[in-house]
């Protein structure tokens, strides 16, 4: 318990609460991913990919249960500007939106007439555009969705305009693009490349791309490598720091890529999300369990549309 925090840089001390501890909220999943916090429902929704279900844990009852069985092997989740759940689905190789009546709207499933690989993680910008990564993990085996051939020529990062359905490639030089998040002012898009998972060679890093006024990306820069394992999902806090998943827990980096410290988690971490009433609680998807810990910062607030 005493070793939850690993201080690498003294600045990390201001971001943690020495009396906070890592709580295991629920366990029994096979591979957790895609946490998203619903402040209006005081709950977290996340994916249990190989079990083909979306889970939900509620703060009021402290109880977890299945939110959606047969989730089409859902992975990343977020909310759009209207508060609707937006989900990446592996098996159906698409991005969907859950409407207030519970029905699903397909937002994207093809690019230039060919099926997507398997959308992995997703974020919504303040202008309503939906940005998502499309690596091949969900079609690599039946375990995470369904073994199938890739139809795309690459593993792209896409920008979708839900108003007209226009889908555009914003980055095409990734090995396996994975988690993604905007800086607090949305002037920078961070994207993880987890191409090194399952291979000795391959990328294990996060890159940063300036976002132009026309929503294209300028030349990117390397922010940091993330090891052990590789970066999967990550989030940005109110000061622009990156909180990334890693093989040994959660790593906190400055926007320049300096490692400030770690939250040690007894399982490999796939993704995380800020939540709680004050936005200062990190919900962490370990391999088989959902964890939470309070920190002394909060997630980046959405900028005004």
3-class SS of residue 119: coil
**Cis-peptide, bond into residue 109, ω within 30° of zero:** no
Query: What is the spatial distance between Cα 45 and Cα 67, in angstroms, rounded to a whole number?
Result: 7
The token pair that represents 10 in the structure block: 């003294």
Q: Nearest CA to 241 among 9, 44, 19?
A: 9
Query: What is the spatial distance between Cα 257 and Cα 61, in angstroms, rounded to a whole number?
Result: 38
Of the two residues 48 and 59, which places its CB atom closer to Mg ion in the complex?
48
Of the two residues 89 and 121, which places its CB atom closer to Mg ion in the complex?
121
CB 90 within 8 A of CB 144: yes
- Is 134 a binding residue for Mg ion by CB under 5 A? The answer is no
Radius of gyration for the chain, computed over Cα atoms and rounded to the nearest angstrom:
18
x-or-dash string of contact with Mg ion, 215-254, rule CB under 5 A:
-----------------xx---------------------
The token pair that represents 263 in the structure block: 């939250």
Size of the site for Mg ion (CB under 5 A): 5
The interface with Mg ion within residues 29-88 (CB under 5 A) comprises none
Of the two residues 16 and 32, which places its CB atom closer to Mg ion in the complex?
32
- Is 120 a binding residue for Mg ion by CB under 5 A? The answer is yes
* Shortest Å distance, C-beta 135 to Mg ion: 8
Which listed residue (52, 71, 176, 178) binds Mg ion by CB under 5 A?
Answer: 178
* Shortest Å distance, C-beta 244 to Mg ion: 11
* Shortest Å distance, C-beta 100 to Mg ion: 27
| 156: Cα separation from own chain's centroid | 16
CB 34 within 8 A of CB 7: no
Which listed residue (121, 144, 175, 267) binds Mg ion by CB under 5 A?
Answer: 121
Burial of 19 (0-12, 13-18, 19+ CB in 10 A): exposed
Of the two residues 78 and 183, which places its CB atom closer to Mg ion in the complex?
78
The interface with Mg ion within residues 245-304 (CB under 5 A) comprises none
The token pair that represents 288 in the structure block: 């088989």
Of the two residues 20 and 35, which places its CB atom closer to Mg ion in the complex?
35
Give the interface segment with Mg ion, choosing from 82-90, 94-102, 104-112, 113-121 (CB under 5 A): 113-121
* Shortest Å distance, C-beta 233 to Mg ion: 5
Backbone angles phi, psi at 270, to 5 degrees: -105, -30
> By the criterion CB under 5 A, which residues form the site for Mg ion?
120-121, 178, 232-233
């Amino acid at each position: 318990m005493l070793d939850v925090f690993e201080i690498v840089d003294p600045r990390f001390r201001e971001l943690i609460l020495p009396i906070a501890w890592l709580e295991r909220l629920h366990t029994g999943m096979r591979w957790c991913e895609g946490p998203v916090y619903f402040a209006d429902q005081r709950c977290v929704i996340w994916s249990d990919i190989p079990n083909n279900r979306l889970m939900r844990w509620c703060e009021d009852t402290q109880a977890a249960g299945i939110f959606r069985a047969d989730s089409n092997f859902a992975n990343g989740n977020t909310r759009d500007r209207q508060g609707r759940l937006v989900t990446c689905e592996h098996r159906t190789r698409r991005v969907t939106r859950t409407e207030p009546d519970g029905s699903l709207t397909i937002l994207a499933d093809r690019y230039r007439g060919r099926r997507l690989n398997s959308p992995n993680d997703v974020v919504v910008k303040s202008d309503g555009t939906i940005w998502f990564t499309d690596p091949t993990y969900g079609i690599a085996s039946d375990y995470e969705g369904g073994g199938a051939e890739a139809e795309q020529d690459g593993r792209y990062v896409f920008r979708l305009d839900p108003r007209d359905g226009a889908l555009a490639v914003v980055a095409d030089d990734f090995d396996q693009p994975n988690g993604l998040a905007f800086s607090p002012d949305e002037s920078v898009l961070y994207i993880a490349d987890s191409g090194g998972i399952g291979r000795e060679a391959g990328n294990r890093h996060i890159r940063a791309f300036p976002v132009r006024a026309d929503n294209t990306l300028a030349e990117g820069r390397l922010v940091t490598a993330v090891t052990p394992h590789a970066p999967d999902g990550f989030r940005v806090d109110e000061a622009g720091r990156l909180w990334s998943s890693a093989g040994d827990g959660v790593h906190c980096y400055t926007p320049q890529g300096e490692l400030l410290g770690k939250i040690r988690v007894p399982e490999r971490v796939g993704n995380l999300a800020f939540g709680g009433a004050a936005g200062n609680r990190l919900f962490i998807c370990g391999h088989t369990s959902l964890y939470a810990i309070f920190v002394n910062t909060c997630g980046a607030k959405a900028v005004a549309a």
